[in-house]
Amino acid sequence: MMRNASPIEPVSLDCLERQARRQYDGSHFQAAIEKFDEVVTRMEGDLGPDHPRTLANRNDLARACRAAGRFDRALSLYRQILDLLVGQLGPDHPDTLRGRSRIANTYYAAGRYQEAMRLFQDVLAKRTEVLGWDHPDTLRSRSSLANSYYAVGSYERAVDMHQETLAARRRVLGLDDERTQASQSRLDEARQAATAEGAEQPS
Protein backbone atom coordinates (compact mmCIF):
# COMPACT_ATOMS: atom_id res chain seq x y z
CA MET A 1 0.00 0.00 0.00
CA MET A 2 1.09 3.56 -0.69
CA ARG A 3 1.64 5.68 2.33
CA ASN A 4 -0.41 8.81 2.66
CA ALA A 5 1.55 11.84 1.59
CA SER A 6 2.65 14.08 4.42
CA PRO A 7 0.77 17.37 4.59
CA ILE A 8 2.67 20.32 3.16
CA GLU A 9 3.83 22.60 5.92
CA PRO A 10 2.88 26.25 5.41
CA VAL A 11 5.73 28.58 4.63
CA SER A 12 6.84 30.38 7.77
CA LEU A 13 6.19 34.10 8.09
CA ASP A 14 9.90 34.81 8.40
CA CYS A 15 10.51 33.00 5.13
CA LEU A 16 7.64 34.82 3.42
CA GLU A 17 8.99 38.18 4.59
CA ARG A 18 12.42 37.38 3.21
CA GLN A 19 10.92 36.27 -0.11
CA ALA A 20 8.85 39.44 -0.37
CA ARG A 21 11.84 41.68 0.34
CA ARG A 22 13.99 39.81 -2.18
CA GLN A 23 11.31 40.36 -4.81
CA TYR A 24 11.15 44.05 -3.94
CA ASP A 25 14.93 44.47 -3.94
CA GLY A 26 15.00 42.81 -7.35
CA SER A 27 12.38 45.28 -8.65
CA HIS A 28 9.84 42.46 -9.09
CA PHE A 29 7.15 44.62 -7.58
CA GLN A 30 4.05 42.64 -8.51
CA ALA A 31 5.56 39.47 -7.06
CA ALA A 32 6.53 41.45 -3.94
CA ILE A 33 2.96 42.73 -3.61
CA GLU A 34 1.59 39.18 -3.72
CA LYS A 35 4.04 38.02 -1.04
CA PHE A 36 3.48 41.04 1.22
CA ASP A 37 -0.29 40.59 0.83
CA GLU A 38 0.04 37.08 2.21
CA VAL A 39 2.35 38.21 5.01
CA VAL A 40 0.03 41.00 6.10
CA THR A 41 -3.07 38.81 5.99
CA ARG A 42 -1.41 36.15 8.14
CA MET A 43 0.04 38.68 10.57
CA GLU A 44 -3.30 40.40 11.03
CA GLY A 45 -4.73 37.03 12.05
CA ASP A 46 -1.80 35.95 14.22
CA LEU A 47 -0.62 39.25 15.73
CA GLY A 48 -3.41 41.74 15.13
CA PRO A 49 -3.72 44.65 12.69
CA ASP A 50 -1.95 47.17 14.92
CA HIS A 51 1.05 45.04 15.93
CA PRO A 52 4.33 46.80 15.01
CA ARG A 53 5.40 43.90 12.79
CA THR A 54 2.07 43.96 10.96
CA LEU A 55 2.35 47.72 10.46
CA ALA A 56 5.91 47.39 9.16
CA ASN A 57 4.85 44.83 6.56
CA ARG A 58 1.76 46.81 5.58
CA ASN A 59 4.11 49.73 5.00
CA ASP A 60 6.33 47.51 2.83
CA LEU A 61 3.23 46.43 0.90
CA ALA A 62 2.28 50.07 0.33
CA ARG A 63 5.81 50.87 -0.80
CA ALA A 64 5.71 48.00 -3.31
CA CYS A 65 2.35 49.22 -4.62
CA ARG A 66 3.79 52.71 -5.08
CA ALA A 67 6.82 51.33 -6.90
CA ALA A 68 4.51 49.33 -9.18
CA GLY A 69 2.48 52.44 -10.00
CA ARG A 70 -0.57 51.24 -8.07
CA PHE A 71 -0.95 54.61 -6.38
CA ASP A 72 -4.58 54.36 -5.28
CA ARG A 73 -3.92 51.18 -3.34
CA ALA A 74 -0.68 52.58 -1.92
CA LEU A 75 -2.54 55.65 -0.68
CA SER A 76 -5.27 53.51 0.87
CA LEU A 77 -2.70 51.43 2.73
CA TYR A 78 -0.69 54.45 3.89
CA ARG A 79 -3.90 56.07 5.19
CA GLN A 80 -4.76 52.94 7.14
CA ILE A 81 -1.30 53.01 8.69
CA LEU A 82 -1.59 56.72 9.47
CA ASP A 83 -4.92 56.23 11.24
CA LEU A 84 -3.38 53.55 13.44
CA LEU A 85 -0.31 55.69 14.17
CA VAL A 86 -2.45 58.67 15.15
CA GLY A 87 -4.45 56.44 17.49
CA GLN A 88 -1.38 54.82 19.03
CA LEU A 89 1.11 57.69 19.14
CA GLY A 90 -0.77 60.92 18.56
CA PRO A 91 -0.73 63.29 15.57
CA ASP A 92 2.63 64.91 16.30
CA HIS A 93 4.81 61.87 16.98
CA PRO A 94 7.78 61.58 14.58
CA ASP A 95 6.52 58.20 13.32
CA THR A 96 3.09 59.70 12.62
CA LEU A 97 4.68 62.58 10.73
CA ARG A 98 6.70 60.05 8.77
CA GLY A 99 3.43 58.33 7.86
CA ARG A 100 2.02 61.63 6.58
CA SER A 101 5.20 62.22 4.58
CA ARG A 102 4.80 58.84 2.88
CA ILE A 103 1.36 59.87 1.69
CA ALA A 104 2.83 63.10 0.31
CA ASN A 105 5.58 61.14 -1.43
CA THR A 106 2.93 58.93 -3.03
CA TYR A 107 1.04 61.97 -4.30
CA TYR A 108 4.33 63.20 -5.76
CA ALA A 109 5.10 59.85 -7.41
CA ALA A 110 1.61 59.86 -8.93
CA GLY A 111 2.18 63.32 -10.43
CA ARG A 112 -0.33 64.93 -8.05
CA TYR A 113 2.10 67.72 -7.25
CA GLN A 114 -0.29 70.27 -5.78
CA GLU A 115 -1.63 67.75 -3.27
CA ALA A 116 1.91 66.63 -2.49
CA MET A 117 3.01 70.24 -2.00
CA ARG A 118 0.23 71.05 0.47
CA LEU A 119 0.97 67.98 2.55
CA PHE A 120 4.75 68.53 2.43
CA GLN A 121 4.14 72.09 3.67
CA ASP A 122 2.05 70.81 6.58
CA VAL A 123 4.58 68.12 7.50
CA LEU A 124 7.48 70.59 7.26
CA ALA A 125 5.75 73.05 9.57
CA LYS A 126 4.97 70.35 12.13
CA ARG A 127 8.45 68.78 11.95
CA THR A 128 10.01 72.21 12.42
CA GLU A 129 7.86 72.69 15.51
CA VAL A 130 8.36 69.22 16.99
CA LEU A 131 11.88 68.24 15.88
CA GLY A 132 13.61 71.53 15.14
CA TRP A 133 14.67 73.35 12.00
CA ASP A 134 17.80 71.31 11.27
CA HIS A 135 16.67 67.80 12.24
CA PRO A 136 17.34 65.35 9.37
CA ASP A 137 13.61 64.58 9.03
CA THR A 138 12.81 68.29 8.81
CA LEU A 139 15.49 68.75 6.17
CA ARG A 140 14.05 65.82 4.24
CA SER A 141 10.65 67.56 4.24
CA ARG A 142 12.27 70.80 3.09
CA SER A 143 13.98 68.96 0.22
CA SER A 144 10.74 67.22 -0.76
CA LEU A 145 8.88 70.53 -0.81
CA ALA A 146 11.63 72.05 -2.96
CA ASN A 147 11.26 69.12 -5.37
CA SER A 148 7.54 69.84 -5.56
CA TYR A 149 8.18 73.48 -6.41
CA TYR A 150 10.51 72.32 -9.16
CA ALA A 151 7.92 69.87 -10.48
CA VAL A 152 5.32 72.63 -10.93
CA GLY A 153 7.82 75.01 -12.55
CA SER A 154 8.47 77.30 -9.55
CA TYR A 155 12.19 77.14 -10.15
CA GLU A 156 13.26 80.19 -8.16
CA ARG A 157 11.44 78.95 -5.07
CA ALA A 158 13.01 75.54 -5.58
CA VAL A 159 16.46 77.16 -5.79
CA ASP A 160 15.93 79.12 -2.57
CA MET A 161 14.72 76.09 -0.64
CA HIS A 162 17.42 73.77 -1.98
CA GLN A 163 20.05 76.36 -1.01
CA GLU A 164 18.72 76.45 2.56
CA THR A 165 18.59 72.67 2.73
CA LEU A 166 22.08 72.25 1.31
CA ALA A 167 23.58 74.69 3.79
CA ALA A 168 21.89 72.92 6.70
CA ARG A 169 22.84 69.45 5.51
CA ARG A 170 26.47 70.50 5.11
CA ARG A 171 26.43 71.70 8.69
CA VAL A 172 24.44 68.83 10.21
CA LEU A 173 25.43 65.83 8.06
CA GLY A 174 28.76 66.83 6.52
CA LEU A 175 29.93 67.34 2.96
CA ASP A 176 30.30 63.64 2.15
CA ASP A 177 26.85 62.48 3.24
CA GLU A 178 24.79 61.23 0.30
CA ARG A 179 21.86 63.45 1.33
CA THR A 180 24.11 66.50 1.20
CA GLN A 181 25.33 65.49 -2.23
CA ALA A 182 21.76 64.91 -3.38
CA SER A 183 20.86 68.44 -2.27
CA GLN A 184 23.76 69.82 -4.29
CA SER A 185 22.62 67.94 -7.40
CA ARG A 186 19.03 69.14 -7.02
CA LEU A 187 20.17 72.71 -6.47
CA ASP A 188 22.28 72.58 -9.62
CA GLU A 189 19.32 71.22 -11.58
CA ALA A 190 16.96 73.89 -10.23
CA ARG A 191 19.46 76.65 -11.03
CA GLN A 192 19.81 75.42 -14.60
CA ALA A 193 16.02 75.39 -15.02
CA ALA A 194 15.68 78.86 -13.51
CA THR A 195 18.42 80.21 -15.78
CA ALA A 196 16.83 78.66 -18.86
CA GLU A 197 13.45 80.06 -17.87
CA GLY A 198 14.95 83.52 -17.45
CA ALA A 199 16.63 83.34 -20.85
CA GLU A 200 13.26 82.61 -22.46
CA GLN A 201 11.60 85.68 -20.95
CA PRO A 202 11.13 88.57 -23.37
CA SER A 203 13.53 91.44 -22.76
What pLDDT was estimated at residue 203? 56
Q: What is the pLDDT of residues 34-71, one digit of tens each?
A: 999 999 999 999 999 999 999 999 999 999 999 999 99
Q: Is 95 left (phi over 0), alpha (psi -120 to 50) or beta?
A: alpha
The answer to whether residue 8 sits within a structural domain is no
Q: What is the pLDDT of residues 65-82, one digit of tens each?
A: 999 999 999 999 999 999
The answer to whether residue 96 sits within a structural domain is no
Answer yes or no: are the C-beta atoms of 147 and 158 closer than 8 Å. Answer: yes
pLDDT-based confidence at 87, cuts 50/70/90? very high
The answer to whether residue 34 sits within a structural domain is yes
User: Of the candidates 184, 96, 194, which has an alpha carbon nearest to the alpha carbon of residue 154?
Assistant: 194
**Domain limits at 27?**
15-89
**How many CA atoms does the CB half-sphere of 90 hold within 13 Å?**
5
Domain-ending residue, one of 56, 89, 122: 89
- Asked if residue 3 has pLDDT above 80, the reply is no
Question: Which residue has better confidence, 199 or 86?
Answer: 86
The distance between the two most distant Cα atoms of the chain, rounded to a whole number of Å, is 95
Which CATH number fits the domain that encloses residue 53?
Answer: 1.25.40
DSSP secondary structure of 20-75? HHHHHHTT-HHHHHHHHHHHHHHHHHHT-TTSHHHHHHHHHHHHHHHHTT-HHHHH
**Alpha carbon distances (Å) from 136 to 88, 119, 172, 202:** 24, 18, 8, 41
What pLDDT was estimated at residue 165? 97
Give the amino acid at 84.
L
Which CATH number fits the domain that encloses residue 162?
Answer: 1.25.40.10
**Alpha carbon distances (Å) from 20 to 5, 32, 48, 61, 180:** 29, 5, 20, 9, 31
Q: What percent of the chain has pLDDT over 70?
A: 93
Structural domains of the chain, count: 2
Q: What is the dihedral of CA 109, 113, 118, 124, to 10 degrees?
A: 50
pLDDT-based confidence at 181, cuts 50/70/90? very high
Based on C-alpha coordinates, what's the Rg of the chain? 21
The answer to whether residue 99 sits within a structural domain is no
Based on the fold, state whether residues 66 and 124 are members of the same structural domain: no
pLDDT-based confidence at 194, cuts 50/70/90? very high
The answer to whether residue 155 sits within a structural domain is yes
